[in-house]
Amino acid sequence: MAVVNIPDKHLTLKSVSEIETFLGTIGVAYERWENLKQISADASDQEILDGYAAEINALKQKGGYVAADVINIVPTTPGLDEMLGKFNKEHWHAEDEVRFIVKGHGLFHIAPEDGDVVSIEMEAGDLICVPSGARHWFNLCGDRTVRAIRLFKDSSGWTPQYTNSGVDAGYEPVCFGPSHIPPAV
Ligand SMILES: [Fe+2]
C-alpha cells in the first residue's frame, strides 16, 4: 500500500481510505488493486497487460485513455540516471500520468497550486493518476526498480514542461517503508 507524507506538516497517511480521500482533495486519484497474486510480477509485458485487461479497460473507459504499455526499470537499465534526471525535477505535462505498480517502488511528489507538497510512495498494487497540468516530480526508491503499467491518451502530450522552480530541491527523495533502505555500496 502507498505511504503518503506531507513533510511540511510532519504528517503521514497510511490507510487506503485516508489516502484516497486526501489525494482526492488535490485532484490525484489513488486506487489499491488487490489481485496481484494472480499474475507474476516477472511475467512478460504482454502477460501483464492481458492479466490486467479488465482493469485497464475500465480505466480507459473512465479516463479516456487509448493505449497502455509496461515500463520496466531496474538498477542496470542503461542510462538510468539520465532518465531519472528528466523526471526528478518539478514539471507538468498535458497528459495524465497514470501508473499501476506491478513490482518495485516509486516516489511521486505533488506540488498543489494551493497547499503543501505531498509525497506518495508507491509499491506493487498501487495505482495513481496525476492529472494533466499538475506540478510533480518522480524518484525511484532504494531498490531502483519499478515495473508499471502506463496509460495514455496521447503519448506526445507526456513531454515534461519544467517549471524550474527549484521546489523539488527542498524535498529529499526519501522512501519511508522499512523495506526501502538503500543497499549498502
Ligand atoms: Fe511526469
Ligand 1 centroid–CA 83 distance in Å is 12
> Considering the domain boundaries, does residue 32 fall inside one?
yes
Given a contact cutoff of 8 angstroms between Cβ atoms, the answer to whether 71 and 77 are in contact is: no
- Residue range of the domain that includes 102: 3-156
Report in angstroms the alpha-carbon separations of 56 from 64, 65, 68, 99, 122. 11, 9, 8, 11, 18
| Grid coordinates belonging to 42 | 516477472
Element containing residue 149 per DSSP (H, E):
strand 146-152
> Considering the domain boundaries, does residue 168 fall inside one?
no
Residue 163 DSSP symbol: -
140 vs 184, residue with greater confidence: 140
104-140 confidence digits (pLDDT tens): 999 999 999 999 999 999 999 999 999 999 999 999 9
> Considering the domain boundaries, does residue 149 fall inside one?
yes
Give pLDDT, residue 184.
45
4-61 confidence digits (pLDDT tens): 999 999 999 989 999 999 999 999 999 998 766 678 889 999 999 999 999 999 999 9
> Considering the domain boundaries, does residue 178 fall inside one?
no
Give pLDDT, residue 36.
67
Ligand 1 centroid–CA 90 distance in Å is 8
CATH number at residue 108: 2.60.120.10
Give pLDDT, residue 185.
42
Q: What percent of the chain has pLDDT over 90?
A: 83
> Considering the domain boundaries, does residue 179 fall inside one?
no
> Considering the domain boundaries, does residue 180 fall inside one?
no
Residue 183 — very low, low, confident or very high, per pLDDT cuts 50/70/90? very low
Give pLDDT, residue 34.
78
Q: Where are the alpha helices (DSSP H) in 36-163?
A: 45-51, 53-63, 80-87
Ligand 1 centroid–CA 92 distance in Å is 6
- Number of domains making up the chain: 1
Ligand 1 centroid–CA 111 distance in Å is 12
> Considering the domain boundaries, does residue 27 fall inside one?
yes
Tell me how crowded residue 182 is: count the other CB atoms within 10 A of its CB.
12
